[in-house]
Structure 1
Amino acid sequence: MIKRALFGLLGAVALSTALGQAQASDDRKVILGTNNWAENVAVANMWKLLLDTRGYDVELKSIGKSVLFAGLATRDIDVTLELWLPTTDAPFLAPYDDDIEVHDIWYRGTGLGLVVPSYVDIDSIADLKGREDEFAYKGRPTVLGIDAGSAIAALTDDAIDRYELDMKQVNSSEPAMMSALSDAYSRQAPMLVTLWNPHWAFAQYDLKYLKDPEGVYGDNEDIYWMSRLAFGEDFPKITQVLNAWEMSDEELATLMAGIESRGDPVEGAQAWIDEHPAQIERWLTAGGL
């Protein structure tokens, strides 16, 4: 009887310990929603590495941009790191305004619009009219863009209509678009793409935005991070750290370029972390991590 009671007690203690460990693990679990934009992949992998080393269990969940907002509102996603305001992502945020918390800016002064290599002798979207045939892709005048559900794709359709251009937008993935741009650049051929900064392409190629006199693409914006409601209460240290986080155009460009050159987001992000210990320490110290 004594042995049986002792075994029962030990079993209860073991079960209690296991449940406690599971609860502790759950309390450190963070679902970080990502999309396929180069800067999003870069900073998401950087923060996963940093938070994992501080005892958190960060899972990256790659989904479409519009789904990110719904996921935050339904609490299926804890946090995502890219919200362009006041214009680009406002339509995505509006339906969930009461169910998502917008936090601090981490990147200031974005760019967004139609981009050509600098050797192209056109400087304005308005100047494309009548010269559309020069920008043929697979036999037809084309603006080569990214996925159809992105904000920049919708703005580009608006630009084609506003400037009355006789061309179509072909939507593809960002890697496919960049591959086509790289091929055209190597041949010094005209190419018209949708791009934004921050982006590693501006460090690798000599590119220029076409002026937008109609203001279709809006003014420069800032990038915020956002979370589900109550994330700040559940993860106060992470919230303080991310609110203290800021990156310059050069810093973000070197992070993205490192990932692009290595062909591996984890390896590239880790290399950047290793090269910027003082900056990393400032961010983490802000949250007591």
Structure 2
Amino acid sequence: MKKKWGAALTCTALAASLSACSGVNAGAGGEEITFATVSGWDDTVAVTALWTALLEDRDYNVDTVAVDLAAGMSAVATGELDGYLNTWLPSTHKAYVEEYRDDLVIFDEPYFDDNRQVLAVPEFVEEDTIKGVVQNAKKYDSRIVGLEAGSGNMKQLPGVVEAYDAKEKLSIIDGSTPAALAALEKATKNNEHVVVSLWQPHWAFAAMPVKALEDPAGGWPAPDGSYVVLSEKFAEEEPQVAEWLSNFKLTEEQYASLMLAVSEAEDAVKGARQWLEKPENKQAAESWFK
């Protein structure tokens, strides 16, 4: 019955003969679902908004709770929260998962398999590689504008700096995703040099003239996949929802456009619904429920 990372999920394995596996609307009774999210993590916000919209359309009542990821994963493991929809594995979020692995349901396949941590700069700058920025660190105020302290990205960033022997040339400034994006936007408007820590796919690369620096020394880990993580209790009690979520897949173009739509909307769920209005996106979403 348990689904661990590396095990196969089927509706049968979760509940051998439950009628919920038949494909009928399991949310007709208005069941409550509560997902964890992390404020400022645009991919997580977008995916959670998407599934909020999709499940609300199937008569579920969906709430989201903004958490620190460590606390959120603990709450999913204990069943206080039902799931977290954007766990980066095998690298970035490994530490958050390891402690609770035996109490989590992690799908065998990611819904997206090419998450990359990057350093980003305005498109106009001459430097195209991390090495180039290191060699011209003074142009960038000898600093990297970072994300949330304690995030997977920020835990990996010192290793990137070390890979380029840049500890004495570039300091890392703890910040937040919104602050890093604001610094990047300001730099693009004013033709200023700045380097920020970010990830791809991300809406910023479509909305602003920015580029990701090449990483010839391989300072960043290999790309991660985005995995759905559920509590065991929820997966057992809501096998139909678990089955739907296991069918979830996004291309990079879909993922980036979803994040952009959500970022431009006043409300995240409204942005997700606008994204779903496009026929090709609607068709993709409908395939997850077959």
Where in structure 2 are there 5+ consecutive unaligned residues?
A: 1-26
Q: 1:247 aligns with which of 222, 245, 250?
A: 250
- The CA distance in 1 between the partners of 2:75 and 2:29, in whole Å, is 18
- Match status 1:280 vs 2:285: yes
Match of 1:159 in 2: 160
Q: 1:47 aligns with which of 41, 47, 51?
A: 51
- Match status 1:89 vs 2:93: yes
CA offsets per residue over residues 73-97 of structure 1, 9 Å max, x none? 2211111111111211112211122
Q: 2:133 aligns with which of 128, 133, 139?
A: 128
Aligned residue identity for 2:103: D
Q: Which deviates more from structure 2 when the two are superposed, residues 252-261 or residues 232-241? A: 252-261
Superposition TM-score, scaled by structure 2 size: 0.83
Identity value in percent = 27
In the TM superposition, 1:162-177 aligns within 5 A as 162-165=163-166, 166-177=169-180
CA offsets per residue over residues 180-218 of structure 1, 9 Å max, x none? 110100122211011111210111123332232332311
Q: Which has the larger radius of gyration?
A: 1
Tell me the CA shift for residue 124 of structure 1. 2.4
- The CA distance in 2 between the partners of 1:217 and 1:167, in whole Å, is 16
Aligned residue identity for 1:45: A
Aligned residue identity for 1:122: E
Give the CA RMSD over aligned residues: 2.0
Give structure 1 regions of 4+ aligned residues with deviation exceeding 4 angstroms: 24-27
Report the secondary structure of 2:99's partner residue: helix
Tell me the CA shift for residue 164 of structure 1. 3.0
Q: 1:180 to 1:79 in 2, by over 3 A?
A: same
Structure with the higher helix share, 1 or 2: 1
Match of 2:198 in 1: 195
- Match status 1:108 vs 2:113: yes
- Match status 1:259 vs 2:262: yes
Conservation of the 8 A alpha-carbon contact between 2:112 and 2:226: yes
Q: 1:194 to 1:253 in 2, by over 3 A?
A: same
Aligned residue identity for 1:48: T
Where in structure 1 are there 5+ consecutive unaligned residues?
A: 1-23
Conservation of the 8 A alpha-carbon contact between 1:144 and 1:192: yes
Superposition TM-score, scaled by structure 1 size: 0.83
Report the secondary structure of 1:83's partner residue: strand
Q: How many residues align?
A: 258
Q: 1:91 to 1:216 in 2, by over 3 A?
A: farther
Conservation of the 8 A alpha-carbon contact between 1:81 and 1:226: yes
- The CA distance in 1 between the partners of 2:137 and 2:282, in whole Å, is 48
- The CA distance in 2 between the partners of 1:74 and 1:25, in whole Å, is 26
- The CA distance in 1 between the partners of 2:140 and 2:128, in whole Å, is 14
Aligned residue identity for 1:279: A
